[in-house]
Structure 1
Amino acid sequence: MKRRDFLQLAGMGAGALMLPTYLFGKSVPLDAPHSVLDARASKQLADVALNTARSQGASYADVRIGRYLNQYLFTREDRVQNTVNTESFGVGIRVIVNGTWGFAATDQVTPDGIKKAAEQAAAIAKANAKLQTEPVKLVPVQSYGEQEWRTPIERNAFDVPVAEKVDLLLSSNAAAMQEGANFINNSLFLVNEQKYFASTEGSYINQDIHRIWPTFTVTARDTASGKFKQRASLSAPMGMGWEYMSGRQQDKIQGPAGLIFYGNTYDQKEDAVSAARQAKEMLTAKSVKPGKYDLVLDPDHLGLTIHESVGHPLELDRVLGYEANYAGTSFATLDKWKTKNFNYGSKIVNLFADKTQDHSLGKVGWDDEGVKTKRWDLVKDGVLVNYQAIRDQAHIINENESHGCCYADSWSSVQFQRMPNVSLAPGTEKYSMQDMIKDVQDGIFIIGRGSYSIDQQRYNFQFGGTLFYEIKNGQVTEMLNDVAYQSNTQEFWNSCAKICDESDYRLFGSFFDGKGQPSQVSAVSHGSSTTRFNGVNVINTARNI
C-alpha cells in the first residue's frame, strides 16, 4: 500500500475500516464527468480474450471488463472529514483447460495486455490440472447475444454536485445537534459498477449498476454521570440513485410511539432529529428484565438475522465445506435437504432468494457467469427446499441450471458463489404493524441493527438492536435498554407466529458482506415485513458482561 493511500484510509473515520480493497483505485477529481463503458469497444477487447483462450486449449472462457467508481463522503458535526473519489479499471479472464479453472487479471486494458492475461489464465489452468482429481462440470446456460441492463434510477448520484451532497449531510448534522445530540458522524457511500461480460458461449452483456448508502451515528451524553448512548440511522443501502434521498411522504410508515420507518426513499434530516431525541431518551430508559418475550421485529432489524441465519447457511459452497477454513460451515447439510421434510421454521415461514427485487442491492440483469437472474425458494412452508448454487455447483443438488448468484467484487477478483437477496415473504392476509402490537401481551419491539454473534455453523446466535420498546397488553409503553435475544436458527424460525402484509414490506441491506480467501465483499439486501416471534429468550446485556 502506498503511503498516500494509507493516510487517506486512516482519515476516513471508523466507518471506513471495512471498505473493500478496490477502493484504492486511481483517485479522480470529485467533479469528473460521469461516463459508461462503450459496448462496441468492449466487445472487440473481449473477443481478443476469448480467441486467445481458445487458441490455448480452453474448452470454456469468460471475460469481465470492469470499471468501478466509488465516492465516499465523511462528515462529523459541522465539518467534512474526508472525501474519496476513485476509479478502478481492468479485465479479469477465467478459463477451463483440461477440465480445470484458471484465472488472471490485468489493468492493461489493451489488446496486447488482454492477450497476455488470457495466456496466463490458460497456463495457470494447465498447471492446476496436474492436481485436479475431478473435472469442472458446468450446467448449461443460454446464449443471450448482445444485451444491456442498467439499474433503473431517476437521478445518477454521481452527477449530483458534491456541494449538494455535503450540504445534506451537514444540515442533517446540524438538525441533530440542535435537538440535543452531542456528536454525530454522517457518511455517504456511492458505488457504480460498470461491467462488460462475454463468454465463449456467445453472450455479450453490458451492465451499469448503481448503489447508495447514507448512514450516521448520533451520540447523546449525560455529562453528570459520563454515560453515553448511540442511535444509528434507520436507512437501508439501496440499489437506487439520488432519488432515494428524497424522503417522499408516501414511502414513510408511521409506527407506534411516534416512530417513523422508511421504505423506498429516505428522509435523512428527519431521521437524524429522531435519532437525537431517542439517544437522549436511552440515557434514562429502564434496563430490561431477562426472560421469555414475544418479539416484534422491524425489517431493518430482522434483515440482519435473515442474513446470518438463512443467507449464509444456505450458501452451497459453505454447506460443502469450502468456507470451513475461514468463515465456517453450515448446520443445513445436504442430508437434511435430501429428506425433503427438514423443518427450518414454522409453516408460515417462506424464505426466498431473488436477484430481481426492485431497489435491492443485489438486483442485476445477469450474474458474473452470464446467467440471467431469477427468484427461487429456499424454505417453503417451513421446509428446507434449496440452496444457492452457481454453474459448477448446481449439478451437486440435481439442478440443471445455475441460480444466477455468481459475483466478483472487482475485475481483479475471480467470481464465485455469493449470497443473492434473501428475504422473508410477507403475510398473505391484511395485517399491519399496529394490528400486530395489539395482539402482544408481554413483548418487546426491536428496531434496527446492533451487535450480534453466531457460531461457525450458523446455528446458535445472539442478536441486539438499535431501539427497544416494551409492549404490554397490546400497547407500546416505554423504551428499554440492554436487550439481546438468544436462540438457535431452527428454534427461532419455528417460533415465527405472525407476519405483516405486503404494505409493510421493506429492505435491509449490507454493502460490505465478506466471504472467501482472499476476502471479497458484496452488496446484498434482505426484505421482510414486521414479524412476531413468540417466547424468545431475552437477556440483559449489562448483566451479562
Structure 2
Amino acid sequence: MRRRDFIFLTGMGAGALVLPGMPGFGKTIDPQEALNPVDTKFKKELSDVGLNAAKAAGASYADVRIGRYLNQFVITRENRVLNVANTESYGIGVRVIANGCWGFAATNEVTKDGIAKAAKRAVAVAKANAKIGSPPVQLAPQKGYGEVSWKTPIEKNAFEVPIKEKVDLLLSANAAAMAGGANFVNSTLFAVNEQKYFASTDGSYIDQDVHRLFPNFTVTKIDPTKGAFETRRSLSSPVGMGYEYLIPSASETVQGVTPRYKKRYDILEDIKFATKQAGEKLTAKSVDPGKYDLVLDPSHLWLTIHESVGHPTELDRVLGYEANFAGTSFLTLDKWKSGNFKFGSDKVNVVGDKTQVGSLGAVGYDDEGVGTKKWDIIKDGVLVNYQAIRDQAHIIGLKESQGCCYAQNWQDVQFQRMPNVSLQPGKTPLSVDNMIKNVEKGIYIIGDGSFSIDQQRYNFQFGGQLFYEIKDGKIAGMMNDVAYQANTQEFWNSCSAVCDENDYRLGGSFNDGKGQPSQSSAVSHGSSTALFKGVNVINTKRKIG
C-alpha cells in the first residue's frame, strides 16, 4: 500500500463516525440501502427545474449533476476486524456560465426547491466573478445526447456480497501470511459506487452507474537479531470492476519470480508469495550503485507513467493553473507547437483513454456530458497532444473536448482530471523472459514504491517493492535498497523495448489528489513490461552512525 493510500484507508479505520465529515463522504448507512437506486424520472424532473431556474436567472449555459456516492470499507489486521463502514453522500451540484464567467453552487436538499435555489446561487456567483474582468469562457461545442445511460460492465456488485464473505476472505489471507511466518499483516477492501446523473442546457440527460474496487494488504517480517524489518505489499491493482475481480484465474510467473495478474486477482496466492518475499528481502544483497538496464514490470511502471507522463501532460498544469498547489509542467506549449519535441524513443507511444474496460477511469461520459474517447498524447516518441476539457479545447486548437472532466463529489466543481494514461504495447512479439535474456547487467523491478519528482515533473527518483539482479540474461537473485534517478526526457528516450500486448496489464491510483480545494480521483495506467537502457541506480540504504 502506498503511503497516501495507507494514510487514507487507516484514517477510515479510525471509526465510521468520522466519515461524514470527510470530502466525498456522507452519512453512514445500512449496506442494504446501497442497493436501492434513485428513480431516473425523478432525477430528470429535478434537473429540468435547475436548468430552467439557471436560465431564468441569466445563465447562457448550465449543467446539473445529481450524485449518490457510496463507499464501503472492510479493514482487518492479523486475526481481527478493525472496522467495517458504509457511507452515502447524496446531493446536487449546479454549474453555470453567466456574463461569460463560471459559477457553481451545491446543495444536499434534493428537492425542486433546493435545486432551484442552488441554480440561482450559481448564477449569482458567476455574475460576481464577471466583475473581476477575466476573459469570457469559450466552451467547445457539444451536442446533446438526449436520455442515455452507461454502467460499468460488472459481473458481481461488490455491495451485494455479504460482509461476512469479505471479512472471511481477508482474514483467510491474513492467516496464510501468519502461517508463513509474517510478524504483522493488514488487509483491506474498498468498494466505490458512483451513481451520477448529468443534465445540461445542451440537451443531455445522462445516467451513469460507476463501480470501482481496491483490495490490498501489507505483510511485514522482522529479523530481531538485526533489528530490521521488511514489507511486501499486494500486487493487486485497483480496478473499475465488480467483486468478480477477486475470483481467481490462472496467473503467470517470470522465471519463477512472482505471479502476474491480468484480469482477475488471487489474494491468497499473492499473500503467500508476499510473505516468502518479505523474508527474502531481509537477506537480499544491497545494490552497488551504477548504470543498469532496467526491466520494469507494469506493477511498477504505472506510477512512473502517472508522475512523469500523466501529470505533465495535463493542460491546466501546462498553463499554470495548478502552479500554486500541484505545480507546473516542463511540457510547455512551445514544445507541442514545434511538432517534433522528442519526449521519448520511437518505442514510446502513450494514449489518453477513458474507455478501457476494467480501468479506474472508464466511464461513458465525463462530468460535463462529453462522450469519452481515446487519443494519442505521445506518438513514436513525439509530444502530439495534451489532456483538455471543454473550456480548454480552443487553446490547443481542438474542435471538441477530450472528455476528461471530473468531480469527486456532487458538492465539488468539476475540472480537468487525468484520464487513463497508458504506454502502448510493442508491435513486435516479445515476452518478458525473452526481454530478460537480452540483458547483461540489469535489475528487474516489480511493484511501486517511494518516489520523488520536481514541480515541473522533470527530475525524479523512483523506488519499488521487489528487485532482482539480472546477469547475462538470467535472474541471479534478489537485491535491495534500489532506486533509479533520471529526468523525464532522458528516461523515456532510454526506452529500447516494450513487450507485446500479451503482457499488457493495468496499475493505478485510487486517490490521486489535485486542485484547490483538493479533490481526489481514481485513474489507471496500463503498460507491458518495458526495458530502459543505462539508467542511474543509487543505493538507498540508510547508514546509522
* TM tier relative to shorter chain: over 0.9
**In structure 1, what is the equivalent of residue 505 of structure 2?**
506
Superposed counterparts of 1:78-477, under 5 Å = 78-249=79-250, 252-477=251-476
Q: Which moved more, 1:419-428 or 1:131-140?
A: 131-140
Counterparts of 2:521 and 2:176, CA distance in 1: 33
Task: Choose 395-404 or 221-230, whichever is displaced more.
Answer: 221-230
SS of residue matched to 2:206: strand
Q: Which one is further off, 340-349 or 28-37?
A: 28-37
Give the conservation status (yes or no) of the 8 Å contact 1:76–1:186: yes
Identify the range of structure 1 (295-304 vs 252-261) with the bigger mean alpha-carbon deviation.
252-261
Aligned residues of 1:102 and 1:128 also touching (Cα < 8 A) = yes
Q: In the aligned structure 1, how far is the partner of 2:233 from the partner of 2:31?
A: 27
C-alpha distance in 2, partners of 1:60/1:544?
A: 61
1:257 is paired with a residue of what secondary structure?
coil
- Asked whether the 8 Å contact 1:11–1:81 carries over to 2, the reply is no
Question: If the length of structure 1 is used for normalisation, what is the TM-score?
Answer: 0.96
1:541 corresponds to: 540
Amino acid at match of 1:294: D
In structure 1, the residue matched to 2:515 is 516
> For 1:441 and 1:506, how far apart are their aligned partners in 2?
26
Q: Deviations over 1:290-309 (max 9, x none)?
A: 00000000001000000000
| Structure-2 separation of matches of 1:13 and 1:460 | 36
5+ long unaligned stretches in structure 1: 1-7
Q: Which ranges of structure 2 fall in alignment gaps of 5 or more residues?
A: 1-8
Q: Which moved further from structure 2: 37-46 or 331-340?
A: 37-46
> Counterparts of 1:472 and 1:19 in 2: how far apart (Å)?
53
Matches of 1:303 and 1:142, distance apart in 2: 34
Q: CA–CA distance in 2 between the matches of 1:193 and 1:212?
A: 12
1:332-354 deviations in Å (ceiling 9; x for gaps): 00011000000000011000000
- C-alpha distance in structure 1 between counterparts of 2:332 and 2:20, whole Å: 32
Per the alignment, in what secondary structure is the counterpart of residue 23 of structure 2? helix
Instruction: For residue 449 of structure 2, give the secondary structure of its aligned residue in structure 1.
Output: coil
1:518, CA displacement in angstroms?
A: 0.1
Q: In structure 1, what residue type is equivalent to 2:255?
A: P
Q: State percent identity of aligned pairs.
A: 65
**Amino acid of the structure 2 residue aligned with 1:337:** W
Q: Which whole-Å CA distance do the structure 1 matches of 2:527 and 2:349 have between them?
A: 10
1:420-464 deviations in whole A, cap 9, x for unaligned?
000000001111011101111100000001000000000000000
* Aligned-partner SS, 1:370: coil
The offset of 1:418, in angstroms, is 0.2
Give the distance between the partners of 2:426 and 2:255, measured in 1 at CA. 20
> Number of aligned pairs?
534
User: CA separation in 2, counterparts of 1:208 and 1:132?
Assistant: 39
> Is the alpha carbon distance of 1:454 and 1:316 closer, same or farther for their aligned partners in structure 2, counting shifts above 3 Å?
same
Amino acid at match of 2:328: T
Q: Which amino acid aligns with 1:215?
A: N
**Post-superposition CA distance 1:152-209 (Å, at most 9, x none):** 0000000000000000000000001101111001011100000000000000000000
Q: Distance in 2 between matches of 1:401 and 1:414?
A: 20
Structure 1 contact 31–162 (Cα < 8 Å) conserved: no
Contact persistence 1:22–1:88 (CA under 8 A): no
Indicate conservation of the 8 Å contact 2:194/2:211, yes or no.
yes
In the alignment, the residues of structure 1 paired with residue 34 and residue 142 of structure 2 have an alpha-carbon distance, to the nearest angstrom, of: 37
Aligned position for 1:50: 51
Hey, what does 1:4 align to over in structure 2? none
Offset, 1:23: 4.8
For residues 234-268 of structure 1, the C-alpha deviation after alignment (integer angstroms, 9 at most, x for no partner) is: 0000000000001111xx22212341111111000
CA–CA distance in 1 between the matches of 2:106 and 2:443? 51
Superposition deviation, residue 9 in structure 1:
7.3
Cα distance between partner residues in 1 of 2:192 and 2:64: 22
CA RMSD in angstroms comes to 1.6
Inter-CA distance 428–544: structure 2 relative to 1 (3 Å threshold): farther
In the TM superposition, residue 224 of structure 1 has moved relative to its aligned partner by 1.5
The answer on whether the counterparts of 1:301 and 1:448 sit within 8 Å (CA) in structure 2 is yes
SS of equivalent to 2:176: helix
- Alpha-carbon separation, structure 2, partners of 1:468 and 1:59: 57
1 CA distance for matches of 2:519 and 2:109?
22
Q: Decide whether the 8 Å contact of 2:12 with 2:19 is kept in 1.
A: no
**TM (normalized to structure 2)?**
0.96
- Give the aligned residue type for 2:105: A
The whole-number CA distance in structure 2 between the counterparts of 1:432 and 1:78 is: 40
